[in-house]
Every structure is written in structure tokens, then in C-alpha cells.
Structure 1
């Protein structure tokens, strides 16, 4: 029985060693199939390592339990433990294959997620580039608008200055224009005044000339009138004297008072003298 137990223990150790070796081979084959796994996902390798350690611990515990449990013999006297170990080996092989399939599935899912991540990163990169382009474009537009705003402010300031200058120039031009109009009106008034002065001088000259002509004509008329009046007076005196002589010769017998006739003659003489005096005074004036 002791030899049987030793044989069973040896078989168990060999099974455990072969199982451990199979796990290592499985891990190596998995690494060969996925050469980029150690660089692709450190977390998966760490998880696989932890699972391997747990499996080894469980196998060690199983070996310890097998050493404690006595060897079971079937009806034919064969060691039932070896058969059980064989079944366990098959079970662990299936479990390793399932683990491998699970790992491959997880790796495929991880690769798919990584592909999606890559696509999302590319999409994010494209969106980021687009966003950066739009941002750069907006910043350029912002700078252009700021430049335009600054230019607009400068132009507004220049327009205000020009408007102020135009207002001042317009006021100055208005004053100059009003002064020019005042000068023109003054010149026009001076011209009108000179014209009226000239007309006045001409009128005065004409009036003086007409007065001189009138005075000449009046003097001539007075002279003629004086001559005529003197002639009339002489004629009257002559006629009166002739009448007195005739009456004295024809009617000497009648008493006639000649005093009235003398008065008439005296009046004629006085009137003639008065006219001469007035004419001389008018000529002096």
C-alpha cells in the first residue's frame, strides 16, 4: 500500500508538474500568438498572471489534499486516483483551453475596443484639428475685426476732426462772405452815392447854368423893359407938354388948373426912378 501510495503521489506530482508545464506552454503559445500583448495591455497580462498564481495555489492545495486522502482502489485493484487525476488533467486542459478562448475573446474585444479607441482618437483628432482650424480662423477674423474696429475708431476720430475743421472753416467762410457782402453793399452804396453826387453836381451845374441864362434873360428883359418904360415916360411927358402947349394956345380964355397934370408927370418920373433903383439892386444881388 505504501508503494501504491508512493506511486500515487509520484503520479500526482507528475500530473501537477505536467499540468504546470502545460500552463506554461499555454502561456508561451498565447504569447507567441499575441507577440504584442505585453506591449498592448499590461493590465491583461497582470490579470493573467494573477489567475495563473491562483490556479497554481489551487493545484498546490489539491496536491496537499491528495496526500492526506488515502489512495482509492477500484474493484479490480487499480488505483482510482490516477484515473481521477487523468480526468482532472482533462478537466484542467479543457479549463485551460476555455481560459485561452476566453482570453482570445477578451483580447479580440480589447482589440476591437482599441480599434474603436483608435477610430475615436482619429475622430477626436480630426475634430480637434477642425476645432483648431475654426479657432484659428475665428481668431484671425477676431484680429481682423479688431483691426477694422481700431481703423474705424481712427477714421471716426479723423472724420470728427475734419468735421470740426469744416465747421470752423464754414463759419470763417460765412464771416468772410458776410464781410464781402457788406463790402459789396458798401461799395454799391458808395457807387450810388457817387452817382447821386454826380447827378446832383450835374443838376446844380444845370441849375446854375439855367439860373445864369435866366438872369441874363431877366437882365435883358429888364433892360428892354427899362428902355421901353423910359421911352413911354418920355413919350408921356412929351405928349403932356404938347397937350399943355396946345391947350394954352387953343383955349387961352378958360382958366385951367394944370396942377394935376404936373402930378402925373411927377408920378411917371418917380416910377421910372424906382424901377431903375430896383433893377440896380437886383443886378447887384
Structure 2
């Protein structure tokens, strides 16, 4: 196995909202994942009904050798919502979207498939998965923070808020379907949290409109923007924030999913 790979098993499953399910996993030697510097892991989801999963293994040249297609796990990236290395436990929250467009996980191609949601719906204690990482970045130190995302980014935003210093200031904008998808968040007193509801919003992208209307501090060099959402919405938000004078090194922008197939949009996804 690769040095950053672990086998983990489902320990518990519970619904946080009608569309967000938390899966608690147990595993061994999780210390490398208990870091605030990297928020995400690559989750390997075996095909349904496979009793003995097969995992990618190092080849002679060090590159991964994949299992046969019928045994190959689906791979998705997820936020580690909680890690307790001493207890050997971690939590991952997965969106159960009604039309399977997005599940809170993202892959290298940002496809519209939702194998993570399928896994979460059928997950039972004892189910085996693979995990590697950690990957991805959180926020850099700043005098003011903008956190913006839809429900796929909610686990990451919730964790970032918990780990910000007590004197942090800024705004968190979170787009969800309706009030039933809101969660209690542990937040520094100086961070204002606004929930944006798509239902009856009167606009296709409430998050984009809210970010565009948000007054930002005059000194953009001292703020940090963390944005994660749908591919095309992200392109519009990134363009707006750059137009506000926010440099690349003061912004992390990531597309977690896309509503249009690859090739249907001309916009890129670099941060």
C-alpha cells in the first residue's frame, strides 16, 4: 500500500439535515490526518456487493496500479469534518442530493456523478472504504475572512470556522436549498454567518449575487477569501473577487461540482 493510504470502516451513520448525512469511520494510525493545514482526503468507495475490495497499489516505478474495472473503487475527495486520532475516529459529511448532481465530494474531472451519495445512502456499520491524504488547503492568516460556498462546501466552512482564532472577523455566506439545511455552527463572534436559500430566491445563483453585493474591506491585501461551489458559479465569483483587487495568494477558489458537462463551459477552474 501507499504510505498515505488507510483502510477505514463505517462505525455510525446519522442525518444532520434532510440532505446531509454524517458517516463516522474508524481506522488505525490516523495521526497524519489530524492537521489544520490540509482539510481533504481521497475516499475510495468499493463497488456495491464486493466482499473483498481491491485498492490501487504502487507499481515497480512507484506509480499506482489500478484494480480491474469491475473491482475498481470510485474515488471522491471529501472534507475531514472531524479527526480524533487518539480514538481512531473521523467524520465525513456527504450531501444526499435529490437528483444526484452533487454529493459534496469532487473528483479530478468534476463530473456530475454522485457515487459518494449512493454509498452514503446504503452505508452500514462495518462497511469498508479506503482513504488517502490529506490534501487541500484551508485559509491563510488574515485580518478579515470571506468564506463562501454551497452545501457541498458546508463541511469545510464549518471546520474552518471552528479553527479560526477567537478574534477573527469576516463573513461566511452559505447557499443551501432552504432553512431545513441550516446547521448550528461554532463561530468566532466577529464572523457574520448568512444562510442563502435557493428556494424562492428569485435568482439561479444566490451565492454569486450575495458575494457581488457584499462590501469588502478597503485593504484587500489583508483579507483572505475561501470559495468553493459549482464550477460555473465559481468562475463568476473568482472573476468578481479578482476585480475587487484580491490577489491569487489571498484567495483559494475550488470547484466542488459542475452542473454542465465537461466541455460545455469555456471557463477554467484554476484558483
TM-score of Structure 1 vs Structure 2, range by shorter chain: under 0.3
With the length of structure 2 as denominator, give the TM-score of the two structures.
0.14
**Relative contact order, higher structure (CA 8 A, sep 6+):** 2
- Structure (1 or 2) with the greater strand fraction: 2
- Kindly name which structure, 1 or 2, has the bigger radius of gyration based on alpha carbons: 1
With the length of structure 1 as denominator, give the TM-score of the two structures.
0.14
